[in-house]
Amino acid sequence: MTTAYPLQWPNGRARTPSYRRARANFTSSFAVSRDNLIAEVRRLGGRNLVISTNIPLRQDGLPYASFRKIDDEGVAVYFTYNGEQMSFACDRWDRVEHNMHAIVKTIDALRGIARWGTGDMMKAAFTGFTALPAPGAARSWREVIGVGPDVRDLAVVRAEYRRRVQEHHPDRPGGSHDAMAELNTAFAAAEKELKQ
């Protein structure tokens, strides 16, 4: 399940490094951006909206409009559209309200595709925004190691596992203990399945 607070960034979605975040030319306040986002998702036909940020929540579950400066200004939005889970995420700008406003503009543009009579393009565009599994959701060993369902040779799996170890080892730039633990667990599951 995706939580609204703290920020739950979609798995696999690249983050903008904090030093590359820029000041936007948007003039929208946080409260207006939040309300516009809710309205835009509603106009689209989205349901079960979750706005995930590092801003504490009001009692109704929405982020407070008055908050102190936070370290991570990213915004992730999750909702159901035509029975499918969708997610939008933005951390390009140095203010939460500006990232939220950028998502509003994106959804409005996609709604425009439908309004202008090219709805088949809208469905194709939404394919890229399909929500990735919620953080903490278990991924299959094939997904973690990066092999397709047709691979049955343990040697092929081992080779891909070793290649990924080189990328994700904690001693390497960009590597982490969590990624290595996930890889090791996935390889153990692969060995168990393929040795049978």
Structural domain of 186? 141-194
Q: Which two tokens stand for residue 80?
A: 């159901």
- State the pLDDT at residue 135: 57
- State the pLDDT at residue 169: 87
* Pair (120, 175) in one structural domain: no
Instruction: Give tens-digit pLDDT for 62-91.
Output: 777 777 767 789 999 999 988 888 899 999
Residues lower than pLDDT 70 in the chain:
1-3, 69, 117-137, 196
- Residue burial 76-92, b: 16+ Cβ < 10 Å; e: rest: bbbbebeeebbbbbbbe
Task: Confirm whether 7 is domain-assigned.
Answer: no
The continuous run of DSSP H or E covering 49 comes out as: strand 47-52
* Pair (122, 32) in one structural domain: yes
- State the pLDDT at residue 41: 94
How far is 67 from 56, CA to CA, in rounded Å?
A: 8
The continuous run of DSSP H or E covering 87 comes out as: strand 84-90
* Pair (146, 58) in one structural domain: no
Task: Confirm whether 5 is domain-assigned.
Answer: no
Task: Confirm whether 95 is domain-assigned.
Answer: yes
* Under 8 Å between Cβ of 117 and 47: no
Number of domains within the chain: 2
Task: Confirm whether 3 is domain-assigned.
Answer: no
3-state SS class at 21: coil
- State the pLDDT at residue 171: 86
3-state SS class at 88: strand
Task: Confirm whether 6 is domain-assigned.
Answer: no
Task: Confirm whether 8 is domain-assigned.
Answer: no
* Pair (99, 30) in one structural domain: yes
How far is 50 from 38, CA to CA, in rounded Å?
A: 9
Task: Confirm whether 91 is domain-assigned.
Answer: yes
- Which of 127, 156, 181 is the last residue before a domain boundary? 127
* Pair (80, 150) in one structural domain: no
* Pair (111, 163) in one structural domain: no
* Pair (79, 154) in one structural domain: no
* Pair (28, 123) in one structural domain: yes
* Pair (82, 171) in one structural domain: no
* Pair (154, 103) in one structural domain: no
